[in-house]
Amino acid sequence: MGNDPNPDQGWYYNTRTGEVEHLERSRSIDLLGPYPDEATARRALEIAKERTKKADEDDAKWGGN
């Protein structure tokens, strides 16, 4: 994590550590977000699953399956 004088105000979920981060963040490759608040960031994996399921359903409809 670095010391950014103008840190991003969003909340992030770190997929490597399972921790929520705010202001000072780890490497972006390990992060999901930004999210508007800590509670939403804690649900990041659930949100990602929901979005993937929806995208898969949309793809199936578009492909005629």
- Does 55 fall in a domain? yes
Residue 10 clears pLDDT 70, i.e. is over it: yes
- Does 16 fall in a domain? yes
- Does 3 fall in a domain? no
- Does 45 fall in a domain? yes
Residue 1 clears pLDDT 70, i.e. is over it: no
Instruction: Kindly indicate the confidence band of residue 9, based on its pLDDT and cuts at 50, 70 and 90.
Output: confident
Rounded mean pLDDT of 19-32? 94
- Does 33 fall in a domain? yes
List of residues 6+ apart from 23 with CB closer than 8 A: 7, 8, 9
If one counts every other C-beta atom within 10 angstroms of the C-beta of residue 61, the result is 9
- Does 1 fall in a domain? no
Instruction: Kindly indicate the confidence band of residue 65, based on its pLDDT and cuts at 50, 70 and 90.
Output: low
Label residue 47 exposed, middle or buried (CB < 10 Å: 0-12, 13-18, 19+): middle
Residue 35 is part of which domain span? 11-62
- Does 5 fall in a domain? no
Q: How many independent structural domains does the chain possess?
A: 1
- Does 4 fall in a domain? no
pTM over 0.85: no
Mean pLDDT of the chain: 90
Helix (H) or strand (E) holding 11: strand 11-14
